[in-house]
C-alpha cells in the first residue's frame, strides 16, 4: 500500500479528485442573504442569515423539476462538478448528480445548500455576531435539523420553488429529507432517504459525545473562542474525526483494505509511532480534516444529529410523527452500515406504511459500511436512477 | 435513572462493590522481586523486575491445583475478595473466583498477577528507571503478551508451580492464556479463553490508535514524562476510556439501559452540556478512570493488544502457531460482543481442532457485549463451573 491509499476512501465528506466534471462545466458558488430574523427551535434567533448554495441544470418554466440535495456532517453545498474558484475540488456526490447520472441534471434542476452552523459559507460560528461585532465562536446558537429545513425553505421561496420534485440526502442529509416532509408536507413530491435513521441510538450519541469531549477539552478550543487567539483545536478535532471515521467504515471493509498490514516496515516498531497501515490512514484523515473543518461547526452538527427525533413529540411513535406526510419515499440502506444499519431504515419504512405512504425500500448488499452511500455501486445507482426516471415521468 | 447507574456496569475493569467476600477473608497483596534481567521481545531488557500478585485458596502438596488468572486492559492482580488495605475494593472477578464459585478456591489455588507495564504494583512506567534514578515515564519499554507470560513463568517458578491446572483469562487475559500454551506447552493442563481473539482486527487497532492519539496529544502528557511536572493527561485519558467503554457494551444493551433518555431534564439544553443519560454515564466513566489509571500504562497495554498475533511468525497460519500446544481448552464467546465477536473465537477453535486438541466451545447468548465476560450469567458461570469440575477430577 502507498500514500495514495490515504485518500482513496471517501468518507461522509468531500471528494477531492481529478475526474471529469461529466459536462456540468465550472460551477459558481452563490450566496443569498436574508434580512429577516430566523427563529430557532432552541428559542434563540438569528437576526438575518446567509446561505451558500450551488445549482446544476435548469429550472423549468413550471419550476417543478427542482431537487434539493441535503448534506451530511462534514460536506457542503458543493455537491457536483468542479468549482470555478477551486477546480481541483470535485463535488462530494459528483458520481450521483450530473448530466446522464442517476440524478440527471439534463432533467432536474439540482440545488446543493450549505447548512447554518457549517463552515463553508453559510452563517456559522465564524460569522460576525451582530451583537458583538466579533465572530460568534462558541456563542453561535445550537441549530437543529428543523432549523436547517426552515432556512432551506427560505431559499426555495427565494428561487420561486413551491414544491420540490424531490428532497434527497444520505445520513444526516436523509434526516433533512424526512424533516422536509414533516415541516412542509405539500412542498415535497418525493423524499429520498439514504443510509439514515429516524433517530440516533445511544451508541451513536456516545460516539458523538466522545468526539465533542475531545474537541471541548482541547486547551486550544478556548470555549469556542479560539479564532481571535491564533489557536485551532486541531488535536481534538483530529481525534474527533478519527472516531467518526471508524464508524463510517465496515469492520470487513477495514479488514480487507488494511487488515494487519504494517506501514512501510517489516516488523513492529516497539514504540508509539505508526506500526499499522490503519494507524497511518486514520492519522492522515484526522490531520487533513483538522486543517479545513471548524471545531465549533463539528460540535453544532453532531448536536443536530443527536437532537433529531421527529417521534419525540409523539411519545416515540414515529408513525404519528409521519401522519402529516404527503410525499412518496425511496429509502435505501446498506447491509454493512453499522452506524445506521438497515433496521433503522426499516423503522422509517414501517412508520410510513402505517400511514399508507408509497415507499420503495432497498437494502443494498455492499461492503463499504456507512460510506457506501457515497460510492457508485451499480445496484445502488441503478436503483436511484430508476426512481428518478419515475419522478421525471411525473413532471410531464 | 439516577447517579447509581453510573457505577452499575462493570467494564473490563475493577468492580467496586459492597458485596460479601464469599468467605475468602481479607486478602493481602504480595510482591515478589526478581533480580535477574528480563529480556523483552523488543530487544530491550528490564534489569530486575517486581510482580504484584494475590493468591486465594491453598496450594496442594503436589502443587498441581494452581490456576493462573490473567487480567485484561485495566484490571489488576486483585481478582477476588476484599483487599486488607482497601476493603471497599472487591476483586474484578469476584463472582467467578472464591469458595463454591465456578473457580472454586476450596479446590484450587488461584493466583492473580499484575502485568509488567501496569500501574498497580508491578514494575511499570511509574517505577524508577535504574539508569536515571527517575520514573521511567515514556521510557518504559514496550512490553508484549509474550513478555508478560515470560514474567508470569518466573512467578510460577518462584512458587514451585511446574504446571498449572489451568491458565484463564477474558479478553486480553485470554490472549495470555493462549500465549502460555505456546510459550510453555507442558506447563498448562487447561487453558480457559473467554471473549478473546487470536489477533486484533483493523477496527480493533483503529479504536486503540484513536485512544492513544487522545492521550499522546494531550499537552499534559509531556511525552510520557508528566510525573515530575505535577501534570496528569486526564483529558486524553478520559477520552481514551470513553472510546474503549463504547466498545465494551453492545449497541442493544446501551439502547436498553440508556436509549435516548434525558439526564435530569425534560427537554434538550441546546448547549454542549449533558443532555442524555449516555453522555453523563460516559463522562463519569472517563473521569473516574483518569483519576486512577496511568496514561503510560494505557498506551503500553493497548500496544500489547495490537501486537498480539501468534500466527504472525507463520504467515498468518494460526494452526501452525498452535502446533506445539498440549493443553485442553475451554473457549467461550458472547453473542453480542462486537469487540471480539464469536467469529474470532471460531478461529481459535478451528486452529486448535486442526491440531487435534480437545476443545470445549460455547457461544453464550448474552446481551452485555464484550463486558459479558465479567457478568454472572448463569449459563456462562454454569459452563465454567462444570469445566473446572472436570479439571478438579484430574487432580485426583
ipTM score of the complex?
A: 0.93
Q: Which of A43, A217, A260 sits opposite B309 (nearest CB)?
A: A260
- Measured between beta carbons, the chain A residues lying within 8 angstroms of B309 are 260
DSSP reduced 3-state for B145? helix
| Residue keyed to cell 482486527 | B201
Task: Identify the closest residue of chain B to A220 by CA–CA distance.
Answer: B219
Alpha-carbon distances, residue A294 vs A24, A69, A75, A120 (angstroms)? 29, 22, 12, 9
Most B CBs within 10 Å, among A251, A260, A306, A337, to test the B interface: A260
pLDDT tens for B1-18 read 233 333 334 455 444 333
* Cα Rg of chain B, angstroms: 20
Catalytic residue selected from B76, B118, B127, B171: B171
**Residue whose C-alpha is closest to residue A146's, from A307, A355, A314, A297:** A307
**What local confidence, expressed as pLDDT, does residue B276 receive?**
98
Residue B236 pLDDT exceeds 80: yes
Residue A317 pLDDT exceeds 80: yes
B79, B56 contact by CB (below 8 A): yes
A5-9, A380-384, B97-101, B163-167: which range is least confident on average? A5-9
C-alpha span between A46 and A148 (Å, rounded)? 12
Residue A31 pLDDT exceeds 50: yes
Query: Are residues A243 and B271, on separate chains, in Cβ contact within 8 Å?
Result: no
Mean per-residue pLDDT of chain B = 94
- Percentage of chain B modeled with pLDDT above 70: 94
Residue A43 pLDDT exceeds 90: yes
**What local confidence, expressed as pLDDT, does residue B131 receive?**
93
C-alpha span between B24 and B57 (Å, rounded)? 8
Q: Which of B44, B142, B202 sits opposite A258 (nearest CB)?
A: B202
B171 has catalytic annotation: yes
Query: Are residues B271 and A212, on separate chains, in Cβ contact within 8 Å?
Result: no
C-alpha span between A264 and A150 (Å, rounded)? 50
B123, B155 contact by CB (below 8 A): no
DSSP conformation class of A114? P
Query: Are residues A213 and B238, on separate chains, in Cβ contact within 8 Å?
Result: yes
DSSP reduced 3-state for A218? coil
Catalytic residue selected from A127, A171, A250, A280: A171
A370, A248 contact by CB (below 8 A): yes
Alpha-carbon distances, residue A382 vs A345, A395, B95 (angstroms)? 19, 20, 55
C-alpha span between A34 and A26 (Å, rounded)? 26
**Residue whose C-alpha is closest to residue B63's, from B143, B139, B133, B164:** B164
**Inter-chain Cβ pairs, chain A and chain B, closer than 8 A:** 140
Q: Which of A203, A282, A309 sits opposite B210 (nearest CB)?
A: A282
A359, A353 contact by CB (below 8 A): yes
Contact residues for B218 (Cβ-Cβ < 8 A; gap 6+): A235, B233, B234, B235, B236, B237, B295
A310, A183 contact by CB (below 8 A): no
C-alpha span between B353 and B359 (Å, rounded)? 7
Question: What are the residues facing A69 on neighbouring strands?
Answer: A112, A168
pLDDT tens for A149-179 read 999 999 999 999 999 999 999 999 999 999 9
Shortest distance between the Cα of A245 and any Cα of chain B, in A, equals 10
Catalytic residue selected from B76, B290, B370, B371: B370
Question: What does chain B come to in residues?
Answer: 396
**What local confidence, expressed as pLDDT, does residue B41 receive?**
98
The dihedrals phi and psi of A199, each to the nearest 5 degrees, come to -175, 150
**What local confidence, expressed as pLDDT, does residue A396 receive?**
74
**Residue whose C-alpha is closest to residue A175's, from A301, A305, A329, A314:** A305
**What local confidence, expressed as pLDDT, does residue B396 receive?**
74
Q: Where are the alpha helices (DSSP H) in chain B?
A: 145-159, 172-183, 202-216, 234-248, 251-257, 277-292, 295-307, 318-321, 342-353, 378-395
- Residue A8's H or E segment, with its range, is none
**What local confidence, expressed as pLDDT, does residue B25 receive?**
87
pLDDT tens for B118-166 read 999 999 999 999 999 999 999 999 999 999 999 999 999 999 999 999 9
A171 has catalytic annotation: yes
pLDDT tens for B336-395 read 999 999 999 999 999 999 999 999 999 999 999 999 999 999 999 999 999 999 999 999
pLDDT tens for A66-125 read 999 999 999 999 999 999 988 899 999 999 999 999 999 999 999 999 999 999 999 999
**What local confidence, expressed as pLDDT, does residue B22 receive?**
56
C-alpha span between A183 and A188 (Å, rounded)? 10
Burial label, A139 (beta-carbon count in 10 A; 0-12, 13-18, 19+)? middle
Q: Residue A23's pLDDT band (boundaries 50, 70, 90)? A: confident
Query: Are residues A238 and B299, on separate chains, in Cβ contact within 8 Å?
Result: no
Alpha-carbon distances, residue A393 vs A290, A388, A389, B121, B342 (angstroms)? 44, 9, 6, 74, 49
C-alpha cell of residue B349: 477453535
**Mean pLDDT across the stretch A327-343?**
98
| Residue keyed to cell 446481551 | B367
C-alpha span between A259 and A243 (Å, rounded)? 18
Q: Residue A392's pLDDT band (boundaries 50, 70, 90)? A: very high
Contact residues for B135 (Cβ-Cβ < 8 A; gap 6+): B125, B126, B127, B128, B129, B227, B228
C-alpha span between B217 and A268 (Å, rounded)? 22
C-alpha span between A329 and A358 (Å, rounded)? 6
DSSP reduced 3-state for A51? strand
Task: Identify the closest residue of chain B to A281 by CA–CA distance.
Answer: B206
Catalytic residue selected from A104, A218, A275, A337: A337
Q: Which of B141, B200, B239 sits opposite A213 (nearest CB)?
A: B239
A306 has catalytic annotation: no
- Percentage of chain A modeled with pLDDT above 90: 92
C-alpha span between B247 and B11 (Å, rounded)? 10
Alpha-carbon distances, residue A263 vs A260, A277, A289 (angstroms)? 9, 5, 21
Q: What is the dihedral of CA B372, B376, B377, B381, to 10 degrees?
A: 110
Query: Are residues A206 and B279, on separate chains, in Cβ contact within 8 Å?
Result: yes
The dihedrals phi and psi of A161, each to the nearest 5 degrees, come to -95, 110
**Mean pLDDT across the stretch B298-317?**
97
**What local confidence, expressed as pLDDT, does residue A1 receive?**
29
**Mean pLDDT across the stretch A263-280?**
96
Query: Are residues B205 and A278, on separate chains, in Cβ contact within 8 Å?
Result: yes
C-alpha span between B5 and B24 (Å, rounded)? 28
C-alpha cell of residue A68: 434539493
Residue A11 pLDDT exceeds 70: no
**Cβ neighbours around A44 below 10 Å, total:** 15
C-alpha cell of residue A248: 463510517
C-alpha cell of residue B258: 440508556
**What local confidence, expressed as pLDDT, does residue B12 receive?**
52
Predicted TM-score (pTM) of this structure? 0.94
Name which residue leads in pLDDT, A368 or A14.
A368
Question: How does DSSP assign B262-295, residue by residue?
Answer: BSS-SS--SSSS--BHHHHHHHHHHHHHHHHS-H
**What local confidence, expressed as pLDDT, does residue B23 receive?**
83
DSSP reduced 3-state for A386? helix
Query: Are residues B242 and A203, on separate chains, in Cβ contact within 8 Å?
Result: no
Residue A20 pLDDT exceeds 70: no
Query: Are residues A239 and B214, on separate chains, in Cβ contact within 8 Å?
Result: yes
pLDDT tens for A69-86 read 999 999 999 999 999 988
- Measured between beta carbons, the chain B residues lying within 8 angstroms of A249 are 203
- Measured between beta carbons, the chain A residues lying within 8 angstroms of B216 are 272
Q: Residue B172's pLDDT band (boundaries 50, 70, 90)? A: very high
Catalytic residue selected from B253, B337, B345, B371: B337
Mean per-residue pLDDT of chain A = 94
Q: Which of B42, B213, B257 sits opposite A239 (nearest CB)?
A: B213
| Residue keyed to cell 518466573 | B154
C-alpha span between B172 and B161 (Å, rounded)? 23
Q: Where are the alpha helices (DSSP H) in A190-341?
A: 202-216, 234-248, 251-257, 277-292, 295-307, 318-321
Contact residues for B325 (Cβ-Cβ < 8 A; gap 6+): B181, B182, B185, B352, B355, B357
Query: Are residues A307 and B254, on separate chains, in Cβ contact within 8 Å?
Result: no
Name which residue leads in pLDDT, A396 or B270.
B270
Burial label, B88 (beta-carbon count in 10 A; 0-12, 13-18, 19+)? exposed
Most B CBs within 10 Å, among A206, A252, A284, to test the B interface: A206
C-alpha span between A165 and A189 (Å, rounded)? 5
DSSP reduced 3-state for A239? helix
**Mean pLDDT across the stretch A301-313?**
98
Name which residue leads in pLDDT, A22 or A148.
A148
C-alpha span between B328 and B180 (Å, rounded)? 12
Contact residues for A6 (Cβ-Cβ < 8 A; gap 6+): A280, A281, A284, A285
DSSP conformation class of A123? S
C-alpha span between A105 and A29 (Å, rounded)? 17
Query: Are residues A238 and B219, on separate chains, in Cβ contact within 8 Å?
Result: no
**What local confidence, expressed as pLDDT, does residue B80 receive?**
97
B364-368 long-range contacts (CB < 8 A, ≥24 apart) are B364/B332, B364/B333, B364/B334, B364/B335, B365/B335, B366/B334, B366/B335, B366/B336, B367/B250, B367/B252, B367/B253, B367/B256, B367/B336, B368/B249, B368/B250, B368/B253, B368/B334, B368/B336
- Percentage of chain A modeled with pLDDT above 70: 94
Amino acid at each position: 500500500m502507498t500514500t495514495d491509499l490515504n485518500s482513496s476512501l471517501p468518507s461522509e465528506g468531500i471528494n477531492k479528485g481529478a475526474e471529469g466534471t461529466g459536462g456540468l462545466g465550472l460551477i459558481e458558488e452563490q450566496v443569498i442573504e436574508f434580512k429577516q430574523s430566523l427563529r430557532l427551535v432552541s428559542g434563540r434567533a438569528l437576526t438575518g442569515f446567509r446561505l451558500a448554495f450551488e445549482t446544476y441544470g435548469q429550472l423549468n418554466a413550471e419550476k417543478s423539476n427542482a431537487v434539493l440535495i441535503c448534506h451530511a456532517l462534514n460536506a457542503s453545498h458543493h455537491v457536483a462538478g468542479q468549482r470555478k474558484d477551486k477546480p481541483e475540488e470535485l463535488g462530494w456526490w459528483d458520481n450521483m448528480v450530473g448530466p446522464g447520472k442517476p440524478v440527471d441534471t439534463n432533467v432536474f434542476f439540482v440545488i446543493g445548500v450549505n447548512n447554518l452552523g457549517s463552515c463553508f459559507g453559510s452563517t456559522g460560528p465564524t460569522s460576525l455576531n451582530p451583537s458583538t461585532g466579533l465572530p460568534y465562536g462558541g456563542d453561535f446558537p445550537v441549530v437543529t435539523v428543523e432549523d436547517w429545513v426552515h432556512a432551506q425553505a427560505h431559499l426555495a421561496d427565494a428561487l420561486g420553488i413551491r414544491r420540490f420534485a424531490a428532497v434527497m440526502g444520505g445520513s444526516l442529509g436523509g434526516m433533512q429529507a424526512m424533516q422536509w416532509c414533516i415541516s412542509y408536507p405539500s412542498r415535497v413530491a418525493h423524499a429520498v432517504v439514504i443510509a439514515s435513521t429516524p433517530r440516533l441510538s445511544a451508541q451513536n450519541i456516545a460516539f458523538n459525545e466522545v468526539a465533542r469531549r475531545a474537541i471541548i477539552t482541547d486547551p486550544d478550543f478556548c470555549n469556542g473562542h479560539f479564532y481571535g487567539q491564533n489557536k485551532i483545536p486541531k488535536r481534538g478535532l483530529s481525534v474527533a474525526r478519527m472516531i467518526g471515521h471508524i464508524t463510517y467504515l465496515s469492520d470487513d471493509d477495514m479488514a480487507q483494505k488494511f487488515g494487519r498490514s504494517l506501514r512501510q516496515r517489516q516488523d513492529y516498531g516497539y514504540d508509539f509511532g505508526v506500526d499499522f497501515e490503519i494507524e497511518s490512514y486514520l492519522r492522515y484523515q484526522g490531520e487533513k480534516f483538522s486543517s479545513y473543518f471548524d471545531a465549533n461547526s463539528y460540535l453544532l452538527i453532531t448536536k443536530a444529529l443527536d437532537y433529531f427525533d421527529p417521534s419525540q413529540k409523539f411519545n416515540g411513535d414515529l408513525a404519528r410523527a409521519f401522519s402529516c406526510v404527503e410525499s412518496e419515499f425511496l429509502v435505501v440502506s446498506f447491509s454493512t452500515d453499522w452506524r445506521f444499519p438497515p433496521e433503522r431504515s426499516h423503522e422509517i419504512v414501517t412508520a410510513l406504511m402505517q400511514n399508507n405512504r408509497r415507499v420503495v425500500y432497498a437494502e443494498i448488499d455492499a461492503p463499504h459500511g456507512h460510506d457506501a452511500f457515497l460510492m457508485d455501486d451499480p445496484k445502488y445507482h441503478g436503483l436511484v436512477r430508476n426512481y428518478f426516471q419515475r419522478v421525471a415521468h411525473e413532471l410531464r
